[in-house]
Amino acid sequence: MLKRKIHNHLIEWKNRTDKKALIVTGARQVGKTTAIREFAKENYAHFVEVNFVKRPVAKQAFDGDLDSHTIFTNLSAMGFGPFFEGTTLVFFDEIQECPNARTAIKFLVEDGHYDIIESGSLLGINYKEVVSYPVGFEEEIRLFPLDFEEFLWAKGIAENVIDLLKQCYRRETPVPEFIHQQISKIYREYLVIGGMPEVVQKFIDSPDISNALRAQTSIITTYRHDISHYAQKSAVLVKRVFDAIPSQLGKQDKRFVLADIEKGASLRKYEDPTQWLIDAGLAYYSFKTKALELPFESTENRRLYKLYMVDTGLLCSLTIKEMQFEVLSGNIDINEGALTENFVASALAATGKSLHYYDKKSKQELDFIINERNSITIIEVKSGDNYKKHASLNAAIASFGNVVERAIVLCKGNVEKDAQVLYLPLYMAMFI
């Protein structure tokens, strides 16, 4: 079973005396249900799982009065249970399929007899009508695909090795070369496999990578079906944007240009379909900013942006044939470094950072600018061997050195500090 960081968050939530219902969201197939089941198995004497897709009859328990006694009596009559006060976790899975259940959460929390966890894909939760949201009675936590540290756990890398990497990051000292080479090899595997739990598990279970690649194809197919189901009238435009992400990231500037997917395409036509992908957790925006000043949102240009996919493995699967072999062989610069930049975007987004890039007249482009403890950090992503060549970063330091706290180049090399520039291995994006 794959070790996930969300487990610690779930333990912390359980130990609170005044806890609300916990709603676990995330893109489909990132491991929400499995994580909750494992948590329940280890921490509760009794576990009741109500899946509104597998057991649609359960929706009828919420058709009448929404007081807790009526609801749990109805569920018990349907065969769900047993319910024991103080020792039972009730898990409403695929809750987007039963809006009345979402409304009832307020009353179930007020009752306080059982711990309540809800889960559902962002697709449904954001696009299903709910009569009355349980404002003030829910706490949300979002689950992402496995990050690189979780992938290292899956690969059996010892905790002391990961601690060593963290120390080298904090102290800005080189990683022992043998360890650096081994972690870099696993990093290339992560670019190809990504962090979808099913894909990772198949890769761990068998050296035949084709099993993992088939799982990726299946997930992509599921996403396309979900788009058709939930996006409805906008489905054609949503799919068009989704399918265009790999080719747009394969350009040198990586900016998403609507005219490349449809002649005369307008932002007005594609803004909602693109936002649909963001809301579904399948993609991330990175907006251009006009100035290196905080907050970046105050100077962002929402008409100019890049789009990154939720998972590098899925991106790799959608890109050019035989790309996996090239990447595993060490050529991570393939396709204009699309995978490496997407990896960094996903790593930053998973820690709650908003994504922005800076571009001054297309001559001074910085891949990422982020807010670190109310200070500006510039991140340049270099997938090639010539990673010490970075004219745009040098120009930015010369012009804005007084407001830039850190200038980082993520690259193939080891940890190295050269004047104001800190070089870090690409895999260390997980620590930023």
- Which one-letter DSSP state was computed for residue 319? S
- Which of 159-173, 208-222, 223-237, 238-252 is the least confident region? 223-237
Whether the per-residue pLDDT at 127 is higher than 70: the answer is no
Give me the phi and psi of 139, to 5 degrees please.
-120, 130
Question: Looking at residue 321, what is its pLDDT?
Answer: 77
Question: Looking at residue 129, what is its pLDDT?
Answer: 64
- Dump pLDDT digits (tens) for 5-43: 999 999 999 999 999 999 999 999 999 999 999 999 999
Rg (CA), the chain: 23
Token reading at 394: 């040098």
The verdict on whether omega for the bond into residue 82 sits within 30 degrees of 0, i.e. cis, is yes
What confidence tier does 106 reach under pLDDT thresholds 50, 70, 90? very high
C-beta separation of 398 from 155 below 8 A: no
Question: Looking at residue 272, what is its pLDDT?
Answer: 94
Whether the per-residue pLDDT at 173 is higher than 60: the answer is yes
When pLDDT is averaged across residues 364-393 and rounded to a whole number, the result is 95
Angle at CA 145, nearest 5°, toward 13 and 302? Answer: 100
pLDDT cut 90: percent of the chain above it: 90
Question: Looking at residue 232, what is its pLDDT?
Answer: 85
Whether the per-residue pLDDT at 407 is higher than 60: the answer is yes
Nearest to 346 by CA among 430, 239, 248: 430
What CA–CA distances, in Å, run from 314 to 57, 258, 381, 387? 34, 22, 20, 26
CB count within 10 Å of CB 245 equals: 23
When pLDDT is averaged across residues 64-78 and rounded to a whole number, the result is 95
Sign of the CA dihedral running 26, 28, 34, 36: positive
Q: What is the largest CA-CA distance in the chain?
A: 71
The overall average pLDDT reported for the chain is: 94
Question: Looking at residue 361, what is its pLDDT?
Answer: 74
Whether the per-residue pLDDT at 201 is higher than 60: the answer is yes
Question: Looking at residue 362, what is its pLDDT?
Answer: 62
- Which one-letter DSSP state was computed for residue 207? S
Give me the phi and psi of 366, to 5 degrees please.
-115, 125
- 72-93 residues labelled b (16+ CB within 10 A) or e (exposed): bebbeeeebeebeeeebbbbbb
When pLDDT is averaged across residues 231-236 and rounded to a whole number, the result is 91
Give the residue ranges of DSSP H helices in 194-311: 197-205, 209-226, 235-249, 267-279
Whether the per-residue pLDDT at 128 is higher than 60: the answer is no
When pLDDT is averaged across residues 141-145 and rounded to a whole number, the result is 96
Whether the per-residue pLDDT at 124 is higher than 80: the answer is no
What confidence tier does 122 reach under pLDDT thresholds 50, 70, 90? confident
